[in-house]
Amino acid sequence: MGNSQSNNKINPVTNRLAQPVGLMRQKYVLGIIDPQYDFMRGGSLEVSDANDIIGPINKLRFILYDYLDVFFSQDFHPVDHVSFASTHNEPVLTVKKINQIMGNSKQIHFEQTLWPAHCVQGSRGCSFHKDLVILKGDQVFQKGTMSNIESYSAFGDEFANAYENTGLNAWCKVKKITDIVLVGLATDYCVCNTAKDAIRLGYRVHLILSCVRGVAPDTTKTALDTMSKQGVKIYGDVEDFINANQQELEQTN
């Protein structure tokens, strides 16, 4: 009798060892890219329907409060920023070839789309929209803070962050982040460049369509295609993201 009982009993030790061990636990961070007044309705560089992302982003934060660290990126330009048409006295949307010597004596070349002045340091347009939930523990990374270099990516400039490094990568490393969930503005510029940098730096990247908006339909389509090809996981809305990642999210806590 004793024998048959012990034969039928599941050995908890063996059972536990049968589970996969040594897998790296996933840890997610929510990256809210540039949700600033100048990109919202009535702003100097208004993105169509940008205000519509605020509700879904707040909802995502509310549902996943216990499971997500959060960072914001903030476009934070001096008045003479290289991306402003006014800096060069040229029309908005001109694509200008720029050659310049950087502090390390290295000469760099890049093509800069010229925008209306936006997100000037200290201006209202530079502030985060008041309807967006911002909590004490949220981290803010400012970018485009120097006159002579553009940083669309929340990690820094397009030269692998050699001239402006916002510190986002180091912060993610300390927090042992494996997955970055991107939302915000704009899909075809700052969101896309943040995604590309994140992939280059070894993170898994998720993007939720209901929580992003693009400047123009053609560039937005190209950006989504590029991100998808690079391995970014794209979801329709907050529910799609949560359903697809529920198990991994639960294991993070």
For residue 34, indicate whether it is catalytic: yes
For residue 190, indicate whether it is catalytic: yes
Q: How far is the CB of 100 from Zn ion (least distance, A)?
A: 18
Which residue in the shown chain puts its C-beta closest to Zn ion? 75
Angle (CA) 174 194 31, round 5°? 60
Give the nearer residue to Zn ion in terms of CB position, either 56 or 125.
Answer: 125
Catalytic one among 27, 75, 126, 143? 143
Give the nearer residue to Zn ion in terms of CB position, either 125 or 144.
Answer: 144
Residue 223, preceding bond cis, omega within 30 degrees? no
Q: Looking at the chain, list the stretches that DSSP marks H as alpha helix, in order from N- to C-terminal side.
A: 2-8, 12-17, 54-63, 85-88, 168-174, 192-200, 217-229, 238-251
Q: What is the DSSP string of 35-92?
A: -BGGGSTTSTTPPTTGGGGHHHHHHHHHHTTTT-EEEEEEE-B-TT-TTBHHHHT--T
Give the nearer residue to Zn ion in terms of CB position, either 75 or 164.
Answer: 75
Contacts of 107 (CB under 8 A, 6+ apart): 99, 100, 101
Q: How far is the CB of 135 from Zn ion (least distance, A)?
A: 25
**Residue list 135-154, contact with Zn ion (CB under 5 A):** 144
Catalytic one among 27, 34, 157, 188? 34
Q: How far is the CB of 175 from Zn ion (least distance, A)?
A: 26
**Residue list 64-93, contact with Zn ion (CB under 5 A):** 75
- The answer to the question of residue 38 lying near Zn ion (CB under 5 A) is no
Q: How far is the CB of 83 from Zn ion (least distance, A)?
A: 5
Catalytic one among 119, 126, 172, 190? 190
Closest CA to 35 of 54, 55, 60, 48: 54
For residue 192, indicate whether it is catalytic: no
What residues are labeled active site?
Answer: 34, 143, 190
Q: Applying CB under 5 A, which residues contact Zn ion?
A: 75, 144
